Structure 1
């Protein structure tokens, strides 16, 4: 279930990531949209498959629609040709997902971390990362401006797999996201390329009911992810790496080992031997590429797994702690509280509520 609430400014509160991912038929998402936009919103169609689901919502007529599709457990797509019937404010809660936004028409603004971002230029592309339990982010959709956009949500693992060994060429914060070391809020605007624009149009203009629609949307989603990963820019100085291409590949190999063994990772000396580089170069190269130490990365991955197990399973908390390498539940609770601002029990209660 999605829990929604209105704050004193009458802003709808809902998760920042794909809020309906726990619902096979997206009924929760439909209720959120109806709450936000009133009785004029109707469910035009709803489909559910073993590994995907789609809901199309219409306001007044079929041409005024918003569609949300679960392409896999790790990727969601929203396509919008939608005119908000009233100024709509959405307060989103961090879920550790990455949102890629491709807008070709309309206006929307967001306020987070003390800054407001928005662009009067209808064409824009951006990457937005909202860590778990961070400050709320407010989104404002303006009345009377048709919102023509495609948005993708994906997990950090999908983004990491996408960029692979090319992570070193990304902006610093993007490398942190890909590596699993969560920065704070991160917003990265970039140029809307002709390829992005064409792909967004193809998604918005595609016939809604075809037997291969989900496969079609998957191909367009990956095309957009490739385009924005290739295009993303930064105002920061380019990365000046002292690593050779060979050493950078070894650091990436070490990273992949840690992804698979983060609960009981090999020590620095053994890890260096496994990838064929000296321990100093490995430690320095790791921080240069990912902006964190090996220990910091492993701890972040443990906390990610802790959040998943606490929020989506019923395993006893002590079992979760032991499975993540904590001998004492008290130490585990302290670590979780420090990372998320909630105890394991509070996370579980909130997820069940």
Structure 2
């Protein structure tokens, strides 16, 4: 079943879902926002790095597909988007899926065809003001690629620029953003370096000649199917041999495909997913540690605690104790954080 929402519906629901601010104790300067429960479960995270550059991370679960009804409009900023989980259709009714990236900018047409499929949805988007990107590129003595320039000034046919596969190099940078080990000013500088790396890799796609994919389209679909099977069975995942058999490829292709598309091993991907799901469940404050451990596939609490500590540098219990944080006006906090983000930061 597919439900219909306009973006006006979304903003109203999101405002209602965020009457109080949610602070992540590991990164208290990030701007967190609950996803509307009428549509799914999860969070947005915004990381403001400098004037004109923001990282947006969406991690949510959609119980059913959503069709977005939009009106024609011009987007001032450029969005370098990377789909790590999820599928759907874009404004041209072209399929989009996990493992692809894109650039949005310029004029968005009126559409009833933009769809997000049911299931886990995980995106990383780099929101960059055109003048910031132009100044950065021109500082190296170069000019913006022509199609990007057209998108900025609003040429309609250039609102969605050449989707491509997320390469292993991009995947590594994305995982480093999602699992950045630093805090404070060091974290901002590190994340900004990853943003520049991803932008350079994506701009290289825009000017590069087409190359033959290492995996065929059918193999790519089967790798994504394998990933979906893993995520449906996080408590009792199949072996590599069994997983390969279920999706109709050999074990070597399965391992090679995961490395190419997701930048990690099959069970490395599953482990990262388990830990992130655990962190989100703990962040919600609705469950005991034992319950969270069981949901993400750990029968033993101590093993779960050890894995969580190794991943995030803090025990689940200690993480939970930090959760209450500030509970003030969501919009006031958002405005304050964004207006003061340029001020010197103290670690």
In which range does the TM-score fall when normalised by the shorter chain? 0.3 to 0.5
Higher RCO by CA contacts (8 Å cutoff, separation 6 or greater): 2
TM-score (norm 1): 0.45
